[in-house]
Structure 1
Amino acid sequence: MIPSPRRSRALMAPPLLVLLLCCLLSDSPTLAPPSPDSGAVRSVTAYFRTNNTAARRGPDAQRTFLRRTQHPEYRDQRCSLDGMTVTAEPALGTLRPDEEFTVAGRHPAGRVWVVGVEITVRREGVVVGRQLGSQHLVALDGRWYGFAPCPG
């Protein structure tokens, strides 16, 4: 005998209520992304805007930006973009702290954040690549630092 749709819904209600109650009473907090008005979102937006402005000005301007914003502990770990520029459009709704992030097994000084980005690579103004990924930034002493990209 096939149960009626009304009876099927009635049978599913108690387990769904228990599941909902467990979720509401759980003591493990879910990290919500910062609000669009938060200082983190505004300053990360400014970081990417400055990067993209430098990229539009050309490889030399972007190299200067990347050198200035390279995390202080990793300033010696830069690589050449070989005349290319890299713009990044962040998906700010994905911005969140990432306490697990390490570089060569070491956690960088500062508070590490990660954000989803769409990367566009250009050579002499012509798009040579696009990629979706994530980018780590570090808030340290009131500034944002990153890790210069290295084309593979």
Structure 2
Amino acid sequence: MKKLFLASALVLAAMGARAADLVDTAVSAGNFNTLVAAVKQADLVATLKGTGPFTVFAPTDEAFAKIPKEQLDALLKDKAKLTQVLTYHVVPAKVMASDVKAGKVATVQGGSLTVATQGGVTVDQAKVVKTDITASNGVIHVIDRVLMPQ
């Protein structure tokens, strides 16, 4: 009986130790509050909690603060434009830092990001400041500004 209980406890612990999805990972990080609010506003939570895999180039709250308040407020009110901006930050594959190569990378939005690797990694000239925050359905790389599709 003890062995059965111990085995059950180990299985439950292993299930609980599973990585959180991209949204929950961003929420628990604590520095993506504006991004998470924007994802909710654009009704993209279910997508980013989906099976993926996705790579998210995630701007921090500090990165969003670089956008003038009136422009950010207008963006948050325009669901179609907000969706375009947010999905431009998402690549439909799991790309770890060790796999990054310079060049064009297709986004969920339909456009392409330009990745450069000289002098550190940049994505459309935004610096990648932290890499490989893993989630159950992908990975987050932190960037220092909000990307705008062309």
TM-score (structure 1 length as normaliser): 0.29
The structure having more radius of gyration, on CA atoms, is 1
Which has more strand, going by share of residues? 1
Query: Which gives a bigger RCO, structure 1 or 2 (Cα 8 Å, sep 6+)?
Result: 2
Relative to total residues, which structure has the larger helix share, 1 or 2? 2
